[in-house]
Chains A and B, each alone.
Chain A
């Protein structure tokens, strides 16, 4: 089983739609969670961290369910510029170690006019 699993998509949605991505992780000791965005042929960049209480950044909302080991990302009012691959990232270190960032394979989003 992969440490971080995501639906690869693609998700094809019209502008203005709301779309949600899900991610599950296997290491119950993980303490840090993130969503990264990767544009075609570019490097990944941090979109937002995911906090236990859930957090929002403009049109983006991230949620964490530790009991189910599940992370979600909601994008409201999709824009053409949101088209990219969204990577779920988990600190996969065991034994309390800090920084072994494990990436999911990514979910591709295509927003069309």
Chain B
């Protein structure tokens, strides 16, 4: 398996623009997570899905952030409008609960810079 695939790897955008981050989880995994990592705040859970359904979005910082999972193989995280304080590395991760295995596998991340 290719692992969790995120795109783009790097994104530089101007303040006010819409940004869309994409994630393809590992085939067969039933949980998908979006995290944001900064030096100041570490790794923060933004939202997670189970079987394509959002379970907990309490970590989404504000209404400018939205996430969707239209099917088992694709998810997006959208920021509209973007602000400089959104600059961070955004990670997508997936896991499979079956047989008690709870390991989360991470993608390589999207490094977002908002100028």
Q: Could you tell me which A residues sit within 8 Å of B by CB distance? A: 32, 34, 42-46, 49, 87, 91, 93, 97-106
13 residue pairs of the A-B complex, CB under 8 angstroms, read A32-B102, A34-B102, A34-B103, A43-B91, A43-B106, A43-B107, A43-B108, A43-B109, A97-B55, A99-B97, A101-B45, A103-B42, A105-B43
Given contacts A43-B91, A98-B97, A99-B102, contact A104 B42 (CB under 8 A): yes
Which of A42, A45, A101 has the most C-beta atoms of chain B within 10 angstroms of its own C-beta? A101
Does A100 lie within 8 Å of B102, measured CB to CB? no
Task: For A102, list chain B residues within 8 Å (CB).
Answer: 45
Which one of B43, B48, B103, B106 lies within 8 Å of A100 (CB-CB)?
B48
Q: Could you tell me which B residues sit within 8 Å of A by CB distance? A: 31, 33, 35, 41-43, 45, 48, 50, 55-56, 91, 93, 95, 97, 102-104, 106-109
Does A46 lie within 8 Å of B43, measured CB to CB? no
Output the least CB separation between B4 and chain A (Å): 8
